[in-house]
Structure 1
Amino acid sequence: MHTASMDGPPLIDVGALVDPSSTAEQRVAVAREIDAAARAWGFFYAARHGVDESLVAEVVRLARSFFAQKEAVKMRIPMSAGGTAWRGFFPTGGELTSGRPDWKEGLYLGSELGPDHPRVREGVILHGANLWPDIPGFRATVLAYIDALEALGHALMRGCALGLGLPEPWFDEHGTRDPLLLLRFFNYPARPVPAGVPASWGVGEHTDYGLLTMLWQDEVGGLQVRTDHGWVDAPPVPGTFVCNIGDMLDRMTGGRYRSVPHRVAVNTSGRDRLSIPLFFDPDFDTVIQPVPGAGPGQDDSGRRWDGANLQSFQGTYGDYVTAKVGKVFPDLNQKLQRY
């Protein structure tokens, strides 16, 4: 197994998982590497992932174009206008981690669902239409990117299934056939945190909620992963996505796959930092249950950033994520409670 750095998460060539001509033996070999990384680190770099480089470059260009606009222009599509879909722009300091503001601004996007979709009609949280900036090509390019990352997510989850000794389509048959896909554009400004703003981090210590996160990050860096021996950097590696295990995959595997805390330092590089994570999560109504062969998970509250015993969670993914997002945007959550 190659490593991105001497003491960082491993770099894995996942080409066999995305290549339809690969053999079962080749896919199993990659799955073993993912299994080892998911157990030891909860993180890995995915190389030879099959997502077109020109598509990634165009998404990055469009994201930078969006954030380069004046804040009044960006606020034409605020999250308050996205309703229960939780889509739109929030300004620097507008998102909380552990009750404290993060020093970043962001644009929330996701699968594009029309008004006739059953969950949109019902007002189910995190389902709905995106709020699109008035930038040529933005909508079509971003939707193509979401499709490409969804395909990669399915491939990586097939690798996780093989690594766990399960049939390749196991996750597809148990909650990811129609995954909840949430895309984020985050800009970490180069300007310093103003006096009086209690922001200590670009993003404070946290874990992700779902199954798998696929992150593109620019060359500025700042991502840090907590290990049993302390914090280590997960620096940018060109041509890769940084992938990490979410809470639900940790829960489903009884802790074999680790949802590991991570954070982003305040940006002091002198230039803005861009990161683009896509969260590949179970369908909203999926009842979270252990995978075959998973033993009962042990109380893990002592090692978790929030002190919660993840292994005791019972319910649907919708139950879990709804409880989480209300803490990230409490003001917006209060407004939505009135409807």
Structure 2
Amino acid sequence: MPGQQTSLPIIDVSPLLITDSSASSQEETARQIHQACRDWGFFYVKNHGIPMKLQEELIDFSREFFAQPLENKMKIAMSKGGRAWRGYFPVGNELTSGKPDGKEGLYFGTEIDDDNHSKVLNKIPLHGRNQFPSIGKNDDEFRHVILTYMIAVENLGRLIMSGIARSLKLDVDFFDKNYFRNEPTCLFRIFNYPASFCQQQGNENLWGVGEHTDYGMLTILLQDDIGGLQVKTSKNEWIQAPSIANTFVCNIGDMLERMSGGYYRSTPHRVRNLSTTRDRLSFPFFLDPNWDAEVLPVPMEGVTDTNANDDDAEDRWDKTSVHTFHGTYGDYLLEKVSRVFPDLAQEQTIIGPNSY
């Protein structure tokens, strides 16, 4: 890690968005992504093309939803979402390392409103219709903002992954062809960290989310202005990742670490609401492999400075190596989700033993 740098890098990703950008500018962006993934596993992106108005609408509608009484929010409880696992959960219902998180949230995924979709017909978990809050001038207003935002961030994530492909000396469309296959697994969360949680006397877990790594490929995070996200450095020190206007925080997940054989590492992070008077909002979007894609190492012949370590179980927060997994991404995700929501997993009869 650079000796002088104590904050996460900010990368201008506009060369990846503009089709007629010069090859040299795209390569420079890929080089910066490479350095950020090697040094931190985290970086900010600016000039990303997501309209500020859309971000503000998402934040405003979310604040309005979470300000409602609990009984109103429970009208779209996750338990009512069936195997799609979509909807609202109250504070304490999601676990990290077996401990309840100090946050409430909304779960969304790719909207599948076609009951004849093969995965819906086959009752594959995490596929189906979303449950949308009735917030705004009409019932569809918040729904429209959420779906518009999800499409925009998915497109941004694909472009960032093209930069990551370049950084690994792969074809620019490598992840599109081999892992997304026109249908990546896209999961979107809206989290609220109540200020009241921080004020509870005798609360042994004041972290909104304890130390963890994300289990997918790429996370793209919008956060409000309160702050509280912390990233663990290679020296086992924690640094703040504060909100920076009109940027997103990106981090690589466990699956990209596995694909790269440990060359790029998923980095532990945690969250605490820094305010005792205001609730904190965050909006992580997870861009992950196709449900049926087998997770295999990517070709690394073009990378010359490898010193990867794939035997890292003892060093990881959960004492579990991501490099021992074999199977599809769907298999991997179901195993992880059942640990986060054990009761719901049991109700849904899912077999098998994320967050900001």
TM-score calculated relative to the size of structure 2: 0.90
Match of 2:245 among 238, 243, 248: 238
Residue 263 (structure 2) pairs with residue 264 (structure 1): no
Paired residues of 2:108 and 2:130 also in contact (CA < 8 A): yes
Paired residues of 1:100 and 1:198 also in contact (CA < 8 A): no
AA of the residue aligned to 2:133 = P
Structure 2 counterpart of 1:43: 42
AA of the residue aligned to 2:256 = L
Structure 1 counterpart of 2:341: 329
Superposition RMSD on alpha carbons, in Å? Answer: 1.8
3-state DSSP of counterpart to 1:255: coil
Structure 2 counterpart of 1:76: 75
Structure 2 counterpart of 1:95: 94
Q: Which deviates more, 312-321 or 293-302?
A: 293-302
Q: How does 1:22-171 map to 2 (within 5 A)?
A: 22-114=21-113, 115-135=115-135, 136-171=140-175
Paired residues of 1:93 and 1:103 also in contact (CA < 8 A): yes
Which whole-Å CA distance do the structure 2 matches of 1:302 and 1:9 have between them?
26
Cα 1:138–1:286 shift into 2, 3 Å: same
Q: Which runs of 5+ in 1 are unaligned?
A: none
* C-alpha deviation, 1:253, in angstroms: 0.5
Structure 2 counterpart of 1:13: 12
Paired residues of 1:185 and 1:277 also in contact (CA < 8 A): yes
Structure 1 counterpart of 2:216: 210
List per-residue Cα deviations over 1:30-62 (Å, max 9, x = no partner). Answer: 011001101110000011111111111111111
Paired residues of 1:299 and 1:312 also in contact (CA < 8 A): no
AA of the residue aligned to 2:260 = T
Q: Which deviates more, 40-49 or 188-197?
A: 188-197
Structure 2 counterpart of 1:312: 324
Paired residues of 1:41 and 1:227 also in contact (CA < 8 A): yes
3-state DSSP of counterpart to 2:35: helix
Residue 286 (structure 2) pairs with residue 285 (structure 1): no
3-state DSSP of counterpart to 2:192: strand
Paired residues of 1:299 and 1:310 also in contact (CA < 8 A): no
Which whole-Å CA distance do the structure 2 matches of 1:335 and 1:249 have between them?
31
Which whole-Å CA distance do the structure 2 matches of 1:175 and 1:299 have between them?
24
Which whole-Å CA distance do the structure 2 matches of 1:338 and 1:320 have between them?
12
Structure 1 counterpart of 2:226: 220
AA of the residue aligned to 1:130 = N
Structure 2 counterpart of 1:201: 207
Structure 1 counterpart of 2:304: none
* C-alpha deviation, 1:192, in angstroms: 3.2
AA of the residue aligned to 2:121 = R
Match of 1:183 among 165, 173, 188: 188
* C-alpha deviation, 1:196, in angstroms: 6.5
AA of the residue aligned to 1:322 = L
Q: Which runs of 5+ in 2 are unaligned?
A: 302-306, 352-356
Q: Which deviates more, 130-139 or 292-301?
A: 292-301
3-state DSSP of counterpart to 1:76: helix
TM-score calculated relative to the size of structure 1: 0.95
Q: Which deviates more, 168-177 or 263-272?
A: 263-272
3-state DSSP of counterpart to 1:215: strand
Percent pairwise identity: 49
Which whole-Å CA distance do the structure 1 matches of 2:241 and 2:142 have between them?
29
* C-alpha deviation, 1:323, in angstroms: 0.5
Cα 1:287–1:191 shift into 2, 3 Å: same
Structure 2 counterpart of 1:255: 262
AA of the residue aligned to 1:22 = S
Which whole-Å CA distance do the structure 2 matches of 1:104 and 1:306 have between them?
21
Paired residues of 1:213 and 1:279 also in contact (CA < 8 A): yes
Which whole-Å CA distance do the structure 2 matches of 1:97 and 1:144 have between them?
30
List per-residue Cα deviations over 1:86-143 (Å, max 9, x = no partner). Answer: 1000001111001000000000011101222111111111111100111250111111
Paired residues of 2:273 and 2:280 also in contact (CA < 8 A): no
Paired residues of 2:8 and 2:42 also in contact (CA < 8 A): yes
Which whole-Å CA distance do the structure 2 matches of 1:264 and 1:254 have between them?
27
Which whole-Å CA distance do the structure 2 matches of 1:121 and 1:331 have between them?
24
Paired residues of 2:45 and 2:250 also in contact (CA < 8 A): yes
Structure 2 counterpart of 1:301: 313
* C-alpha deviation, 1:64, in angstroms: 1.1
3-state DSSP of counterpart to 1:75: helix
Paired residues of 1:284 and 1:317 also in contact (CA < 8 A): yes
* C-alpha deviation, 1:297, in angstroms: 4.9
Would you say how many aligned residue pairs link Structure 1 and Structure 2?
336
Which whole-Å CA distance do the structure 2 matches of 1:112 and 1:31 have between them?
31
3-state DSSP of counterpart to 1:224: strand
* C-alpha deviation, 1:197, in angstroms: 5.5
* C-alpha deviation, 1:19, in angstroms: 1.3
